[in-house]
Amino acid sequence: MFFINYFLISFSIVGYGLFFSKILGLKIRNFGFLGFYGLSFLTFISYVTAPFFVHNYIFNSIILIFGLLCLMIIKKGSLDLKKNFKSHLFVFTILIIFILSAKTHDDFPYYHFPYSYLLTQMEHPIGLGHVNPGFRNASSLFFLNSLFYLPGTGIYLMQIYPVFVLGFANLILVYFIFIKNNFNKFKIINFLSLIFFSFINIFFYRIGEHGVDRSAMIIVFIIILISFVILRNINQNKNYKNNLDLFLFISILLSFLVSIKSIYLLYLPLGLIFLYYWRKNFIDIIKKFSIFYSAIFVTIYLTYNFFNSGCIIYPADFICFYDLSWSLPRRLIIHDNMWFELWSKAGAMPNFSVENKELYISGMNWFPNWMNIYFFNKVSDFLIGLAILIFIFYLTFFLKSNFKKNNMFNLNKFIFIYIFLFVIFLEWFFKHPQLRYGGYHLIALLIFLPISFYFNSSTINFYLFEKKSKLILVIVLIIFFGRNIDRLVSENQSYGYNPFINNQFYHNDKIYKYMDWIQERKNSFSKMNILGKKILVTVP
């Protein structure tokens, strides 16, 4: 039943994407685009209904069935349905090995699962930030999770949202890898799609490390890719109407990205780059319902933050309101703000914390300790892995290739995105320099983009690129399977975990079966009253 519901959910998400695209009049390219439309719309449904309806078996079953009906009933237009079904089944069948895991993300039992499970037991209350520090910012993925509480699987599908982000991203990337149109003039799209696909499947191969961060990073890769497609069209003097559906897709992705984690609010100005180029059509563009939908989506997310903690963005002191009945005390917010920065700069660990915290995080005082504790070996290991990936691409595409010196396109329009990413990188480095807080994708993008610009001057033809790309895809799949098989073997040796026989493992010196372990987390709830509503809170 686990795998049946897994595939039904994946197709239901596509159905909601189809329904959403028809309502908004958006063009359809493949199931990858529909998947992200569906994820956004399902999250919106969860947002709107959570204060009024419990996301129980009945509610979620209706939601699931409606999506499947949409997929079967709504006309698909020019969409090659047979080809997309095959691609969808192929990708999500491969990703089964991704979701087999003895261990969830470290934060899953702490606040990911409790938040999602709470929505399956009661309407969303006010003041959740008093219960658990992780409840103070309401990630959209927790709301999405609550819709996966279904008969036959219960709580056991409430940790697999990363597979849908990864799966639909893969469908989009593969689609753009093999587009022949304009390859000779603008190979960047094909090359970026290939290297993005390789990166996310090699470096983000383990579901237990995804949390909410890696899903957000994958979405950033897709946003940057689609941005380059739009800028290519602008560079070829195509008017805004030829790009509008792609821009609306970016606006929907940006709103979904922001709602995953508040730090990604920094990416909202990316949309202004395109509005600048289409400034003469500004009024026409903002009248589109998709833009209005994205604005409402972000507003609802910020409203949940506000009702959870009293802060529009927690723990930003300047946009917190302290005179509300559910507001958290100012001293706590200031403390948490400093603690997050301290943790990011390696000034605190589970069994260690520097004495003078304010002095440590000021200026560059933190840098030597960060280098010793975090850069070696976390960042250095990541850079070595990144260098190996780039070396493989060098051997495949650059070593024996010819390049035209004067074949570089006009970089003026593209340089804005690179500058934008570099500014975000500086903010990351000086405020929260942990790879999981936005470092992985920023470092990769700042390296991948110049390489792709150089590749554009290559004389390689499409058929040779296609042949080499297929070789790269096979290598990536082998690495993806190999690393996951190695992970499962390691989990079996460490925990006695076997997903096909007796999936038991060790946790805190106790032997568990995976589902029994989650069930124990479910049972370790006590009741607490916030503003007249009984809510459930996990007991450590």
DSSP 60-94: HHHHHHHHHHHHHHS--TT--HHHHHHHHHHHHHH
* Both tokens assigned to 279: 């400034």
Q: Is residue 385 predicted with pLDDT exceeding 90?
A: yes
Are residues 35 and 155 located together in one domain of the fold?
A: yes
Residue pair 409/185 in contact by the 8 Å Cβ criterion: yes
Dihedral of the alpha carbons of 292, 293, 296, 301, in degrees to the nearest 10: -150
Are residues 467 and 533 located together in one domain of the fold?
A: no
* Counted domains in the chain: 2
Q: What is the pLDDT of residue 511?
A: 47
Express as a percent the part of the chain with pLDDT over 90.
58
Give the span between the Cα atoms of 197 and 220, in whole angstroms: 13
Residue pair 537/130 in contact by the 8 Å Cβ criterion: no
Are residues 445 and 528 located together in one domain of the fold?
A: no
Domain hosting residue 334, numbered range: 1-493
Residue 507's H or E segment, with its range, is strand 504-507
Query: Which of the listed ranges 36-40, 101-105, 244-248 does the model predict with the highest average pLDDT?
Result: 36-40
Query: Smallest Cα–Cα separation from 217: which of 202, 229, 200, 192?
Result: 200
Q: Could you tell me if residue 351 is inside a domain?
A: yes
Dihedral of the alpha carbons of 50, 54, 58, 61, in degrees to the nearest 10: 30
Give Cα separations from 387 to 121, 199, 379, 384, 448 (angstroms).
47, 11, 12, 5, 11
Are residues 444 and 524 located together in one domain of the fold?
A: no
Give the span between the Cα atoms of 517 and 504, in whole angstroms: 9
Q: Is residue 48 predicted with pLDDT exceeding 60?
A: yes
Are residues 254 and 371 located together in one domain of the fold?
A: yes
Residue pair 147/43 in contact by the 8 Å Cβ criterion: no
3-state secondary structure of 349: strand
Are residues 219 and 322 located together in one domain of the fold?
A: yes
The pTM is what?
0.92
Are residues 327 and 197 located together in one domain of the fold?
A: yes
Are residues 534 and 445 located together in one domain of the fold?
A: no
Are residues 476 and 512 located together in one domain of the fold?
A: no
Phi, psi for residue 120 in degrees, rounded to 5: -90, -5
Q: Could you tell me if residue 499 is inside a domain?
A: no
Are residues 160 and 134 located together in one domain of the fold?
A: yes
Phi, psi for residue 528 in degrees, rounded to 5: -140, 145
Are residues 442 and 509 located together in one domain of the fold?
A: no
Q: What is the pLDDT of residue 476?
A: 96
Other CB atoms within a 10 A radius of the CB of residue 423 amount to: 12
Among 79-88, 95-104, 228-237, 488-497, the range scoring the smallest mean pLDDT is: 488-497
Are residues 376 and 523 located together in one domain of the fold?
A: no
Q: What is the pLDDT of residue 59?
A: 97
Residue pair 413/231 in contact by the 8 Å Cβ criterion: yes
Residue 183's H or E segment, with its range, is none
For 217-240, write each residue's pLDDT tens digit.
999 999 999 999 988 888 777 777
